[in-house]
A and B are shown apart, each in its own frame.
Chain A
Amino acid sequence: GNSVTQMEGPVTLSEEAFLTINCTYTATGYPSLFWYVQYPGEGLQLLLKATKADDKGSNKGFEATYRKETTSFHLEKGSVQVSDSAVYFCAVPNFGNEKLTFGTGTRLTIIP
């Protein structure tokens, strides 16, 4: 089945720093790719997604570009805020069905 490898955490940054969280995937075909975020004490919620190669997903200042050449979907933000402190999960569908395979998650802490 499809799989995803995500950058290990935890990651600690100062406010207004640039953020990159790496995600690479192994998949059959060209599935949609997802980033989910989990804020403290909450369930996961969709942060952004891209449905085809070269698409850029964006939301709340975060961006990720679907790169089929490098099989990557890295998450970036130009200037992080304390409120971005959360756990971030990269996800890829299992081929041909409704299930998602999630990465292990990257815990991000932003310090003022």
Chain B
Amino acid sequence: DVKVTQSSRYLVKRTGEKVFLECVQDMDHENMFWYRQDPGLGLRLIYFSYDVKMKEKGDIPEGYSVSREKKERFSLILESASTNQTSMYLCASSYLAGRTDTQYFGPGTRLTVL
């Protein structure tokens, strides 16, 4: 079974802090994704990576950056957290670059910025 794990289930941070969210997948998938999920808005793509050190902006990249130094790990960074970044963050992975494959999701990190 594919397993996608996220470093924290719940996180509370203060405005202005730098925040790291980590995601690890164990199935050698090429693609990894970061979404945020908000009521009434569904899932919105923040960033996407199709290979180590490669990334693409999604629909809402402002205020976020990402890092993929190893194939299995994809980090989301909030450079200076703000209250409007309070949300559920979901990581996902899929098998092959250039193809539409099933995405496998982690359990999510609920981030609260005070």
Q: Could you tell me if B100 and A31 are in contact, using CB atoms closer than 8 angstroms?
A: yes
Q: What per-residue 1/0 map shows which CB atoms of A91-107 lie under 8 Å from chain B?
A: 00100011110111100
Stretch at the interface among A15-23, A43-51, A65-73: A43-51
Look across to chain A and name the residue whose beta carbon is closest to the beta carbon of B41: A104
Residue on A with the closest CB to B43? A102
Chain A residues, Cβ within 8 Å of B98: 97-98
Cβ of A103: which chain B residues have Cβ within 8 Å of it? 42
Q: Is the CB of A45 within 8 A of B48?
A: no
Range, interface on chain B: 20 to 34
B107 contacts the other chain (CB 8 A): yes
| Count, chain A residues at interface, CB 8 A | 21
Q: Which chain B residues numbered 30 to 53 have a C-beta less than 8 Å away from chain A?
A: 31, 33, 40-43, 45, 48, 50
User: Nearest residue in A to B40 (C-beta to C-beta)?
Assistant: A104
Q: How far is it, in angstroms, between the C-alpha of A49 and the C-alpha of B101 when the chains are bound?
A: 10
Q: Is A28 an interface residue (CB 8 A)?
A: no
Interface: B99 (CB within 8 A): yes
Would A100 and B103 count as touching, CB distance under 8 A? Answer: yes
| B33 in contact with A45 (CB, 8 Å) | no
